[in-house]
Amino acid sequence: MTVASATEMLMPKLSDSMEEGTILSWLVVPGAEVAAGQDLLEVETDKATMTVQAEAAGALEILVEEGEAVAVGTPIARLGEGAGPAAVDVVPAAPRATVADAAEPTPAEAPALTEAPAPTPVAPAPVASAPGGTRRSTPLARRLAADHGVAIDSIDGSGVGGRVVKADVLAAAGIEATPEPESPSPGPIETAKGGSNTVELSRLQAVIARRMAEAKATVPHFQVETEVRMDAAIALRTELKRLAGEDPVPSFNDLIVRAAAIALRRHPKANGSYVGSAFELHDRVNIGIAVAAEDTLIVPTIFDVDKKSLGEIARDARRLAGRVRAGEVTPPELAGGTFTVSNLGMFGMTAIYPVINPPQAAILGVGRTRATLARGEGGEIVDVSLMTLTLSCDHRILYGAEAAEFLGAIRDLLESPLRLAL
């Protein structure tokens, strides 16, 4: 593709911990004119799947194909001037060593397919290429559609999210796909465990696994644990439900997040990071809340929690959780966390011992509230509701006594929850 001038787009850094990204799909066909700020591609990072916008206007030249993973800062596309779809001759990119388990064969296979016997010749139909108006499809599917005179917008896609793939184009052209040669398989190995299937990790799962392994290996961590009497907090939430009306009712997790924020302001080292050979004590109290998404865990951030009411925290938490589950969360919503709360109480877990999210100093694990018996002030047996809180700490910045004081402050706030409104 020859252009008078071009803007080179690089793989962006979409989260604090991102080192590389995988191109999931291009949302605009090669050669199409795009506008600055238009949705251009979907990228999978170590946090989530993000939509990336065009940085400038111009005709699109794709440098990195779908399915490829490249490091942050690698050129992935050019946006040039004066070239439209009709003037573009897209040359298939050579396969790269970074591609693993691609869902589609490489573009180099396309010429062999054009030699297959075709049905009665038809006049080639132009492939729609208007930005935002083309049915989502893989680059190989678009090339095959052009080769066989098939209008790609008329094809119902069978790929993920309705994407048109190679098999859909071949079927529309009346061509029977040649089965791909299968690698010899040793077959199932019979052991005392029975049969087994290997499930490959997604890019996101692999990055999370690597980061958690690095955290366990490189961060000298320890845990402190306490039991919280939640009876007063349960009574407060019952009253809040009565008063809330149509507003979201703060959950127990919202109460915990608010208590943690107040305690973090009083214990600044718990709101810090260990970087190099120094402490970084952060001005803002930004708490990440772990949200279970499909096959992974995403941690969006509630900012300035110490300055927000319980109602504001409840609204922010529900909005962020909804955006995570809908796949709409953005990089700024995942960045800037200074502390994390991970709650498995809704799954019935009594306690959780979470892994620190570097470079944060600590993470709070929350178990379920459970009914038990205890001694009252007069020695009588009474019913109480207990919840287990576990704090995992980076020993380079927090020591045992400091961690105990910080966790004790969270416990005291939850046991006297009216203080959360101050």
Q: Amino acid identity of 197?
A: N
Token couple for 334:
């995942």
Supply the pLDDT for residue 157.
Answer: 82
* Mean pLDDT of all residues in 294-314: 91
Quickly state the pLDDT bin for 149 (edges 50, 70, 90). confident
Distance of CA 131 to the CA centre of its chain: 26
Convert the pLDDT of each residue in 369-399 to its tens digit: 999 998 888 889 999 999 999 999 999 999 9
Is there a contact between 36 and 134 (Cβ–Cβ < 8 Å)?
Answer: no
Give the number of other Cβ atoms within 10 Å of residue 111's Cβ. Answer: 11
Kindly report the backbone phi and psi dihedral angles of residue 339, in degrees, each rounded to the nearest multiple of 5, phi listed first: -160, 155
Residue indicated by tokens 């970084």: 280
Q: Is the peptide bond before 181 cis (omega within 30 degrees of 0)?
A: no
Beta-strand relationship, 362-375 and 339-343 = parallel
Catalytic pick among 148, 221, 267, 395: 395
* Band of residue 276 on the pLDDT scale cut at 50, 70, 90: confident
Q: Could you state, in order of their start, the residue ranges of all structural domains in the chain? A: 6-172, 218-421
d(CA 124, CA 145): 9
Confirm whether 395 is a catalytic residue: yes
| Nearest in space to 417 (alpha carbons), one of 381, 382, 385, 378 | 385
In Å, how far are 255, 308, 384 from 312, measured between CA atoms?
11, 6, 29
Least-confidence region, from 50-59, 81-90, 318-327, 364-373: 81-90
Residue that the structure tokens 């718990």 belong to:
270
Is residue 343 over pLDDT 60? yes
- Whether the pLDDT of residue 412 is over 90: the answer is yes
Q: Which of 5-9, 237-241, 261-265 has the lowest mean pLDDT?
A: 5-9
Contact 78, 91 (CB under 8 A): no
Predicted local confidence at residue 416, as pLDDT:
96
DSSP lists the bridge partners of residue 159 as none
Q: Are 57 and 98 in contact (CB under 8 A)?
A: no
When mean pLDDT is compared over 55-64, 143-152, 272-281, 363-372, the highest value belongs to 363-372
- According to DSSP, residue 59 is labeled E
CATH level 2 (architecture), domain 218-421: 2-Layer Sandwich (3.30)
Query: What does the pLDDT look like over 90-124, one tens digit per residue?
Result: 334 333 333 334 334 344 443 444 444 444 444 43
Q: From CA 263, how far away is CA 258, in angstroms rounded?
A: 9
Q: Which residues contact 71 (CB under 8 A, 6 or more apart)?
A: 11, 19, 20
Using a pLDDT cut of 70, give the percent of the chain over it.
Answer: 77
Residue 165: partners with Cβ closer than 8 Å, 6 or more residues away: 103, 104, 137, 138, 140, 141, 157, 158, 159
Q: Report pLDDT for 119.
A: 43
* CATH ID of 6-172, from 3.30.450.20, 3.40.50.2000, 2.40.50.100, 1.10.10.10: 2.40.50.100
pLDDT score of 422 more than 70: yes
> pLDDT per residue over 253-262, tens digit each?
999 999 999 9
Same fold, 6-172 and 218-421: no
